[in-house]
Amino acid sequence: MNEPLSYVDPGPDSPWRTYLAQVDRVLPYLGPLARWAETLRRPKRALVVDVPIELDDGRVAHFEGFRVQHNLSRGPGKGGVRYHPQVTLEEVMALAAWMSIKNAAVNLPFGGAKGGIRVDPKALSRKELERLTRRYTSEIGLVIGPQQDIPAPDVNTDAQVMAWMMDTYSMNVGATVTGVVTGKPIHLGGSLGRVKATGRGVFVTGREAARRIGLPLDGARVAVQGFGNVGSAAAELFVQAGAKVVAIQDHTGTVVNPAGFDFAALMPHVRAHGGVAGFPGGDAIDGESFWDVPCDVLIPAALEGQITAERARRIRARMVLEGANGPTLPAADDVLAERGILVVPDVICNAGGVTVSYFEWVQDFSSFFWTEDEINVRLDKILVGALKTIWDTAERHKISLRTATFAVACERILTAREVRGLYP
């Protein structure tokens, strides 16, 4: 009756396979709602588009574009758009599904969605990038909208890309629609606090988890993989709380300093050189040795599938805070649990970004904007409350925080599905 999806063939460690394994683990805790569980294994809508553009030299290039809406039972779709040469339909499906879980875990009135273009944006000029963004927005325009599906920035996309998307959608409908995307520039209806919101969420959930396991942040050693928007913002907040960042890995290299990095010198270096490689305030090591660095808090904030079972056996941390989406494979989850290393899962740990995206969406609808302090206070309150519910669920059922997050989120999603019923 319920055959596997015909249009994807997930490998053993692929993002979609990882997501399906996480759903399987939560089934025993769903009670009568488990009859609707197949809903979670199938995206509601998957759109694949051709994105042709004229390059600066006159040639025409074609790129694959995707927009997946995993589940819309609780509200319009919400999720980022990534530009990456390895983007696939299956990856976007998994990211959309994790957005469904994430939005429900923090009780936002959104479903899960995600988008992407299979492209290396660094190989395009600014004008080519604009043409790519505008064409992609036009191609997916039939499924997005402020009350249908609201894109946001993700890997290799930013406020400027969102501005182009907002303008293109607005031109197509004949009115300025600021609420069609979030993560926009401030003067186009963007929200204060949005840029650092995901990193702030990693810090807030990490702070609460550290308090619960008796780990003082003052003097705690932090290792960060991925030093983009999320990793760098989280690292700075941990340093402000008295922790020291002892290892950083990004796409340019890996540097360590057991005494802790001087952020006043590090951040200008990263801005000037595009990464941490060559920073004189630390020692360079090979990439694989990053996983052997002694630390208290490990923050994987790069791409999916980074913590394998083999790496999980080597990690020397008390706590893993998942800044990235899907960084830990299911087998690695089991290893970390056996070793007593707490994992604060992506679906709550990095939910700060979508929470402030929700604030931006609300502000756009009301044309009334909040101060950054108001936004940070509201963000803290939502994340602390969500983590408490998840922690209590984990303790009640004696399960991991990840399975507890899925239990809380899936109950909300499937309850909405059951109450709405099937149409027609």
Helix H or strand E segment including 306: none
Give helix 197-213 / helix 229-240 axis angle, nearest 10°: 50
On the CB side of 354, CA atoms within 13 Å amount to 35
Instruction: Count CB-CB contacts under 10 A for residue 214.
Output: 7
Residue 35 CA to residue 114 CA, distance in Å, equals 26
Residue 87 CA to residue 117 CA, distance in Å, equals 7
User: Does residue 147 come out as left (phi exceeding 0), alpha (psi in the -120 to 50 range) or beta?
Assistant: alpha
Name the CA radius of gyration of the chain, rounded: 21
Active-site residue, 388 included: no
Residue 226 CA to residue 399 CA, distance in Å, equals 28
Instruction: Count CB-CB contacts under 10 A for residue 278.
Output: 13
Task: Judge contact between 98 and 347, C-beta under 8 A.
Answer: yes
Q: Per the residue annotation, which of 44, 78, 102, 114 is the catalytic one? A: 114
Residue 274 CA to residue 401 CA, distance in Å, equals 35
Helix, strand, or coil here: 356? helix
Residue 387 CA to residue 409 CA, distance in Å, equals 12
Closest CA to 157 of 173, 178, 137, 176: 137
Helix, strand, or coil here: 229? helix
Closest CA to 224 of 348, 308, 317, 312: 317
Q: Are strands 111-118 and 149-153 parallel, antiparallel or unpaired?
A: unpaired
Helices and strands, number each (H, E), in the chain: 13, 12
Closest CA to 135 of 165, 178, 157: 165
Residue 98 CB burial class (10 angstroms; 0-12, 13-18, ≥19): buried
Instruction: Count CB-CB contacts under 10 A for residue 399.
Output: 19
Q: What are phi and psi of 85, to 5 degrees?
A: -65, -20
- Which active-site residues does the annotation give? 114
